[in-house]
Amino acid sequence: MNTIGLPLIAGFIAGVSLLGVQGSMILCVVALALILAAARASSSPLVSLLIFGASCSAVAGYWVPEALRALGATTSESYSGFALATLWSSMPGFTVLAAIAHATRRLRRKTWIAVFCFSLAAIETALLSIPGFVPWILFGYAAIEQTGLAQLAALGGVPLVSVALVICAEALACLARPSPRRSSRGPFAILAGFTATAIVGLPFAQFVSPPNTTDAAPIRFVAIQPKLPRPERLRPSLQEVNTERLVRFTQHAIEAFPQTTLWTLVVWPENSILDKIDDRPRAEQIASAAAQELGRPLILGTTSRLEADASSVLRNRASLFSATGRLRSNADKVRTVPAIESSGHGWLESLARRAVGAAGEGPKIDSGYEIAPMAEAGHAVVTLCFEILFPDIVEKRRPEVATALLNLSDTSWIEDAVVSRQMITIARYRAIEQRLPLIRVAQGSGSAHFDAYGGLVEALPPGRYGALVVDALPTHAPQAMERGMILALPCGAALLAWLLHPLLGRSVAALCALRLDLRITKGCDHLPNPTRRIGLHPTDPHDFRSALPRRQVARPEERVPKNERVPEVVVRFFADRRVMPAMELADAENPREGT
């Protein structure tokens, strides 16, 4: 059961928690406590952690077969791709973590947990930065709804939040398995710091680490969520018509809000002008005409074929057009979805394309190489869909003074809302790390505005036209001191709990002693003043008389006639074990006759 059953159960719970359900952080902590117990108890943590990783990834990515079928794959090909995606997204990290846990399984418990946490942080950091990996399954994603705890990402990213969840799970497991050889003081302090951070971490972060704004005027972003059926957007003959619809709705949205003198930037989602347009100047001409008609700068996602390239390789980019229709700057997409979008020719990617069949035979995206801030884009950090998974791309795209984090996305190829929800969860962490408001604009659904602390400000309803209007202040990047202050709350709460633990223990001991005394005297109600019939040793250092009211303490000088005297019961309160010898308790509750 420990080797197979617990990892499967824990993986299912963790996978569900990563989907963003209510109470997901609590579920994830329970799952981590189970897998830590299984990995430590079993003779081979390697098997337990691998089963846990595979089951966790399978539950969190249950939507993959449906997505592949929507792209043309058969049922068998869709499930082959599902198995490959499960292995690709979780097995590299979990294999290394399981190998380390197995090699260090004979270490002391505290040392083993320290090595486990350090390895987990290093592996998740590598997954977030090394090309080719998909950082889809990270434990810290489960804590996004607890925005107080999620503020730790401002200091150490998602890996630090994952480590915090693991430490909390271990503390919870220690309290659930009491031992006379192990003190509960440390786990109690850890849980106190964790709880304080989850409850008041958000207002504390707002107080100690506010956005470092400048004196410059804010910039208004008008983000438009279109409602254009995907088959219509793919038809080349309807490109101009679809663009004209977007222009009309954008003008209506701008007029619906109070007029302002702020510099206004219009944002359209990824693939606003799709592929199938072989002539790149024609695509630019459509976008340029839209910017001129709006009379405002326009950022939109475009897809067109490379110049002088007759192949099916495309270039996906975010383009900025000025109010006069001139192309001012581009930001090429540098990370693409493996096998589906990527144009790589490695053996692993070729194997993945054969596994998914027709879903991997569509046009491919040529990844860009230059990662730099987008010029004249209102000091915004612009990312395209899948790029939001990688914090290093967001960091390199950020100018010295930034206003907002823009994520242009297109998840219309799958109807399941879980994909948008998972992408939004990851994007919210990027907003917390950069202390910038997040504006996610997508095709059809998933458009929302979040503040610099990951809190939801406004979300557009799915399946309809909508507009987000956000006034963002230019801000500097948070300094190291501001990031480090986030740790003051959990460390301070843990230290306070550590100091108060003995006092709380004595209070609990007093309550237990009072309840025990009442149980002892319950059978002596027929005697006069039964509370004075219990003889206590006045020199006993463990005597609990000091915790009882004066009137309940037996006085040694008082004498009771022999025929009314109850047996003397020596009650000791053991500070470590908190138990009373069973024989003494039985004698107290059932006094033997004739004594």
Name beta bridge partners: 441. 408
Q: What is the per-residue pLDDT across 484-494, written as a single tens digit (0 to 9) for each? A: 888 889 999 99
Q: How are beta strands 401-402 and 475-476 bridged, if at all?
A: antiparallel
**With the C-alpha atoms ordered 433, 438, 443, 446, is the resulting torsion angle positive or negative?**
positive
Residue 145 has pLDDT above 90, yes or no: no
Over residues 35-62, the mean pLDDT reads 80
Per-residue pLDDT reduced to its tens digit, 533-567: 344 444 444 444 444 444 444 444 444 454 444 44
Burial of 595 (0-12, 13-18, 19+ CB in 10 A): exposed
pLDDT for residue 508: 57
Neighbour-count burial of 418, counting CB atoms closer than 10 A to its CB (0-12 exposed, 13-18 middle, 19+ buried):
middle
Distance of alpha carbon 321 from alpha carbon 328, whole angstroms: 6
Q: What is the pLDDT of residues 377-389, one digit of tens each?
A: 888 899 988 889 8
pLDDT of residue 511: 60
Helix (H) or strand (E) run with residue 187 in it: helix 185-208
Instruction: Identify the residue with better confidence: 290 or 585.
Output: 290
pLDDT of residue 450: 94
Beta bridge partners of 408: 384, 441
Average pLDDT over residues 98-106: 86
CA dist., res. 28 & res. 16, Å (int): 8
- Parallel, antiparallel, or unpaired for β 263-267 and 219-225? parallel
Predicted local distance difference test score (pLDDT) of residue 9: 82
The pLDDT confidence band at residue 3, using thresholds 50, 70 and 90, is low
More confident call, 311 vs 418: 418
Q: Tell me: pLDDT of 67 over 90.
A: no
If you average pLDDT over residues 339-360, what whole number do you get? Answer: 77
559 against 49, higher pLDDT:
49
Can you tell me the mean pLDDT for 402-409? 91
Q: What is the mean pLDDT of the chain?
A: 78
Cα separations (Å) of 417 from 354, 364, 413, 461, 463? Answer: 27, 25, 11, 12, 11
Nearest to 192 by CA among 499, 457, 397: 499
User: Is residue 180 scored above 70 in pLDDT?
Assistant: no
Report the first-to-last Cα separation within the chain, whole angstroms. Answer: 53
Helix (H, G, I), strand (E, B) or coil at 394: helix
| Cα separation values, 192 from 168, 195, 294, Å | 10, 5, 55
The 10s digit of each residue's pLDDT in 228-241 is: 877 777 777 778 88
Q: How big is the chain by its Cα radius of gyration, in Å?
A: 32
CA dihedral 576, 581, 586, 591 (to 10 degrees): -110
* Per-residue pLDDT at 406 exceeds 90: yes
Q: What percent of the chain has pLDDT over 90?
A: 13
Please, what are the domains in the chain?
Answer: 5-209 (no CATH), 212-334+372-475 (3.60.110.10), 499-589 (no CATH)
DSSP assigned state of 179:
B
**Do the bridges between strand 212-213 and strand 475-476 make them parallel or antiparallel, or are there none, so unpaired?**
antiparallel
Q: Long-range contacts: 508-512, Cβ < 8 Å, 24+?
A: 509/544, 509/547, 509/573, 509/575, 509/578, 510/544, 510/547, 510/548, 512/573, 512/578
**Which of 263-267, 413-417, 455-459, 474-478 comes out lowest in average pLDDT?**
413-417
Global confidence as pTM: 0.81
Most confident of 113-122, 184-193, 414-423: 113-122
